[in-house]
Amino acid sequence: MTEPRAAAPTFRVATNLTAGSAAATATPSIVSVKSLDAYFGATRAVRDATLDFPEGQVTAIIGPSGCGKSTLLRTLNRMHETVPTARVEGEVLLEGKDIYERSVNPIEVRKRIGMVFQRPTPFPTMSIRDNVVAGFRAAGRSAPPRAEQFEIAEWALRRAALWDEVRDRLDESATALSGGQQQRLCIARALATRPRVLLLDEPTASLDPRSTQKVEELVYELRGDVTVVIVTHNMQQAARVSDRTAFMLLGELVEVAPTSRLFTSPSDERTEAYITGRFG
């Protein structure tokens, strides 16, 4: 792995949108949600959601605060149920298998699906390198030998466009990095175990514009290799990075469509009201 880091393409919304709408129909789904309800106690945060996430594509979930978009995301890797009183009804199929079936171990589901949160969550007592390979160590998997871990760390850091900034200080504490770097470190950590699906929960909400742009470029580059689901309250971001967009309102999945179509000719008037800024 000695090639210089490829220059990140300066992506244009137009290219992105056409690519998205063309591919959306043909690609098979890697994750399918079928009549899913998600509860906190008696509150139903997601109501009867049904949608597919086509393999290798970027799907954005947008909607006003509290509409249930993060909750929907967290049902996809069974993180929702880690909150007390939270529960789920319905099905989520990962490569055709229902992850809410009784025999399924949520730990195994989470190992196959990467997740990055709103605020960067590096492990403060670990070095940068150890953070990247934490998925092998903290999760007690049959950890690859140390030399191989180093290679994986480099690969994941390059993938997350962070390698050039940290290559000389891999043994320093992860807390020494800036917020944007920490978030890309978390993306590298999620990618290191080669998940086929990556969930991003408002990954740029706590970042400055420059770091936001880097993360968006990164999401753009990941398409094809990894299926990305990104929750965002920033409609421009959804338009920039996603192939498909889902709009949620008050726990209800209002509309799912190729991003270009959803933003230019939405079929539901509530979607139109939201994207034209009449509420939200």
Residue from 72, 126, 128, 152 that binds another protein (CB under 8 A)? 126
Identify which of residues 22 and 138 has a Cβ nearer to another protein in the complex: 138
Kindly state whether residue 114 participates in binding another protein, applying the rule CB under 8 A.
yes
Identify the residue among 34, 44, 119, 261 touching another protein (CB under 8 A): 119
Token couple for 229: 């689901």
**Token digits of residue 258:** 């190729």
Minimum gap (Å) between residue 261 Cβ and another protein: 32
Q: Are 233 and 65 in contact (CB under 8 A)?
A: yes
With contacts defined by CB under 8 A, name the span among 15-23, 31-39, 74-82, 224-232 that binds another protein.
74-82
* 86-94 vs 97-98, strand pairing mode: antiparallel
Among 15, 125, 264, 265, binds another protein (CB under 8 A): 125
* 29 or 206: CB nearest another protein: 206
Q: 36 or 190: whose CB is closer to another protein?
A: 190
Q: Map the footprint of another protein across residues 134-193, applying CB under 8 A.
A: 134-135, 137-141, 175, 186, 189-190, 193
Q: In this chain, which stretch among 63-71, 90-98, 116-124, 204-212 interacts with another protein, using CB under 8 A?
A: 116-124
In this structure, are residues 198 and 127 in contact, taking their beta carbons and an 8 Å threshold?
A: no
Site string for another protein, 10-49 (x = CB under 8 A): ----------------------------------------
Identify which of residues 185 and 275 has a Cβ nearer to another protein in the complex.
Answer: 185
Q: Which stretch binds another protein (CB under 8 A): 60-68, 106-114, 162-170, 216-224?
A: 106-114
CB of 84 to another protein, least distance (A): 8
265, burial (CB in 10 Å: exposed 0-12, middle 13-18, buried 19+)? exposed
37's CB contacts (< 8 A; 6+ apart) are: 44, 46, 47, 48, 49, 88, 89, 90
- Sheet of 244-249, strand order: 97-98, 86-94, 29-40, 43-54, 252-258, 244-249, 58-62, 227-231, 197-201, 113-116
- In the list 53, 100, 117, 263, the residue contacting another protein (rule: CB under 8 A) is 117
Distance CA 110, CA 43 (A): 25
Helix H or strand E encompassing 200: strand 197-201
Number of residues lying near another protein (CB under 8 A) = 29
3-state secondary structure (DSSP) of residue 120: coil
Residue 85 binds to another protein (criterion: CB under 8 A)? no
Contact set for another protein, span 198-217 (CB under 8 A): none
Q: How many helices (H) and strands (E) does the chain have?
A: 12, 10
> Does residue 37 contact residue 253 with C-beta atoms inside 8 Å?
no
Alpha carbon distances (Å) from 32 to 24, 40, 90, 92: 14, 22, 11, 6
Q: Which is nearer to another protein, 47 or 112 (CB)?
A: 112
- Residues lying near another protein in the complex (CB under 8 A) are found at 77, 79, 82, 107-108, 110-112, 114-115, 117, 119, 121, 123-126, 134-135, 137-141, 175, 186, 189-190, 193
